[in-house]
Structures are given as C-alpha cells and as structure tokens.
C-alpha cells in the first residue's frame, strides 16, 4: 500500500501525468494581450517556439489567434515529452528504479535534522502521510511536495500550455518528443545525495508560496514580460547550481541541437517547451541565434 501511494504521488513528475487523459476544461472568453512566441527560420523551414507553463488556470485562454494559426499550420508538434502517450505503469516502474530506496535504506538516513523536521512539519500541515514517503529518494519527495502544494492551491495541469496543444493536435499533424520520461527521471536521479537534499530543502521552503509565485508567473506570461518571468522562475528554482545546470542549461543545448535538425528539414513545426528553456542568455532562442538562424519574437495579435 505504501509503495503504491509513493509511486502514484510522483506521477506528478511529468506535469501530473494522470491529467493527460482527462477532458480539457472549458475556456473563458478573456483574451491575453501577449504571449511568449518566437519564430525561428531557415532557408527551408520555420519553427514556432512557444514557451509553456505546465499548470495554470482558465485565465490563460483562449490563446491569441496568431498562436493557434501557427499551430494549425504546423506539420509537427514538438514537445518535451508527449504526456498523452506516457504509459503510467511503465512510469511507476521507472520511479521504482530511479527514485526508491532498497529494503535496508530510507529517506531519513539521507536528510539533515533540519530538513527532516521541515518535512515532518509540512506533512502534518498538508495531511501527507510522512511514513509513506520514507522509501522515496529526496528528489522524488521534493517534486511531490511542490505538486501537492499546487494541487491543494487549485492549480490544474489540464490548463498547462503543453497540454492545450497536445489535446488539440490531430492527424495528419504528428507529435514528436525532444526527450523521454526515462531520460527525465534518470537525469533527476543522477543528482548526488547533497544535491537532492538541497533540492528538497528548497522545495519545502517555497511550497507554501507556490500558488502566489505561479500567479505572478502567469501574469508575467500573459503580459509577455520575459524579464519578469525569467526572474520569477529563477527564484523558484530548487537545488544547487550544479544540479540546475544539468536540469536547465545542459538540456537547452541538447534541445537546440534537436530543433536544428528540424530547421534543416522542410516541415513547418510548432515547438512547446517550458518557458525557462527559451529565455535568458543560455536559452534555446539565443542558442539558435548563435547557430545563425533568424529568431524573432511574434506579437500576439499579428503574424
């Protein structure tokens, strides 16, 4: 029973995968003024780059007509991971492989007293069974803590930008992944004990303000304020710089290299990745520009 609870809890790793098969909520009429959308061009192909926030509310929709039009014209929808195609049973197996301790080990043996006390307090305040987390490694618990905070705050992965486009994609448009669930889980699992403990400690400190930060990020997202959004996202990062480099900067390089192959082809593409991967001096936009591609931000109301 404890094993099942732990594995189900960390399905939130992939933007709360369980929501991928749910119906998309109805969307209100309020229309945002701007969004984070770029157009990357080569002599043979065009790729629209859409920054995503993975959970949100109905204020994100409907998206501007220019965004939906660019998506409709694309032959390929490119995402980090196709959440609608994720096998939950296999994901649970992967979590068991990468995120759980053996019979003679446990979470308490890998935490400082300060972090262990903070986790105990968080579990008591949020009605989480602390003992059920004992077999999980700190990186899994860190993500579970944030996912629980967002869920209790009423934030919904069904309103995430990536889920919106995955739900809307229909043949003959095909869906392509930049990464796999196995890769993402193994990357997190590669963190050292110290990195994982710092990630958990940081998550516990910011969990109770998760909704506040997410609302601020959504406001910056809707206004197209990339500087404010990047600042907020940096404030919400969990873990030491060594881990964040692997989770963000190094992945940006790999993603940009994959997207370059599409730009060398002849199919129009629509790319949806976490907004943090597009922004900043080490983001995908700058990386593609450095490779000689023309990349321009698209106004929400124009093409």
pLDDT digits (tens, 9 = 90+) for 196-220: 999 999 889 888 887 787 788 888 8
pLDDT at 220: 82
In 3D, which of 90, 74, 73 has the Cα closest to residue 14? 90
Question: What residue spans define the domains of the chain?
Answer: 2-12+30-297
Res 279 pLDDT > 60: yes
Q: Which residue has the higher pLDDT, 71 or 29?
A: 71
pLDDT at 300: 58
Q: What is the pLDDT of residues 133-150, one digit of tens each?
A: 999 999 999 988 888 887
Helix (H, G, I), strand (E, B) or coil at 256: helix
Q: What is the pLDDT of residues 11-59, one digit of tens each?
A: 444 443 333 333 444 444 454 445 789 999 999 999 999 998 888 778 8
Band (pLDDT 50/70/90 cuts) for residue 168 is: very high
Sign of the Cα torsion 231, 237, 239, 245 reads negative
Res 180 pLDDT > 60: yes
Give the HSE-up count for residue 186: Cα atoms under 13 Å, Cβ half-sphere. Answer: 5
Share of the chain above pLDDT 70, in %: 85
* Spatial separation of the C-alpha atoms in residues 198 and 221, rounded to whole Å: 28
pTM across the whole model = 0.85
Greatest Cα-to-Cα distance within the chain, rounded to the nearest angstrom: 60
The first and second tokens of residue 275, run together, are: 């907004």
> Lowest mean pLDDT: which of 71-75, 88-92, 117-121, 164-168?
88-92
Mean pLDDT across the stretch 281-286?
94
Q: What is the pLDDT of residues 239-258, one digit of tens each?
A: 678 888 998 899 999 999 99
- H helices present in the chain, as ranges: 2-9, 65-73, 88-99, 113-125, 138-152, 161-168, 181-189, 193-206, 210-223, 226-235, 241-244, 250-263, 275-278, 284-290
Mean pLDDT of the chain: 83
Res 10 pLDDT > 60: no
Mean pLDDT across the stretch 99-127?
93
Q: Which residue has the higher pLDDT, 212 or 235?
A: 212
pLDDT at 148: 82
The first and second tokens of residue 299, run together, are: 């106004």
User: What is the pairing mode between strands 37-41 and 76-79?
Assistant: unpaired
């Amino acid at each position: 029973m404890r094993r099942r609870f732990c594995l189900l809890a960390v399905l939130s790793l992939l933007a709360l995968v369980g929501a991928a098969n749910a119906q998309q909520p109805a969307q209100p009429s309020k229309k945002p003024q701007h969004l984070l959308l770029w157009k990357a061009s080569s002599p043979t192909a065009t790729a629209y780059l859409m920054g995503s926030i993975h959970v949100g509310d109905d204020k994100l929709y409907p998206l501007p007509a220019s965004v939906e039009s660019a998506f409709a014209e694309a032959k390929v929808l490119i995402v980090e991971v196709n959440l609608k195609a994720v096998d939950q049973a296999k994901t649970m197996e992967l979590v068991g492989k990468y995120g759980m301790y053996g019979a003679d080990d446990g979470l308490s043996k890998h935490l400082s007293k300060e972090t262990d006390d903070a986790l105990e307090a968080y579990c008591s305040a949020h009605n989480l069974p602390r003992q059920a987390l004992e077999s999980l490694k700190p990186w899994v618990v860190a993500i579970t803590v944030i996912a629980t905070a967002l869920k209790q705050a009423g934030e919904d992965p069904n309103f995430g930008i990536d889920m919106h486009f995955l739900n809307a994609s229909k043949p003959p448009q095909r869906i392509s992944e930049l990464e796999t669930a196995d890769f993402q889980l193994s990357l997190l699992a590669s963190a050292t004990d110290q990195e994982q403990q710092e990630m958990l400690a940081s998550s516990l400190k910011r969990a109770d303000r998760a909704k506040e930060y997410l609302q601020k990020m959504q406001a910056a997202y809707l206004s197209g304020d990339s500087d404010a959004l990047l600042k907020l996202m940096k404030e919400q990062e969990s873990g030491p710089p060594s881990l964040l480099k692997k989770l963000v900067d190094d992945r940006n390089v790999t993603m940009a290299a994959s997207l370059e192959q599409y730009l060398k082809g002849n199919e129009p593409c629509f790319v949806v990745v976490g907004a943090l991967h597009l922004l900043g001096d080490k983001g995908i936009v700058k990386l593609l520009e450095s490779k000689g591609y023309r990349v321009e931000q698209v106004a929400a109301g124009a093409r």
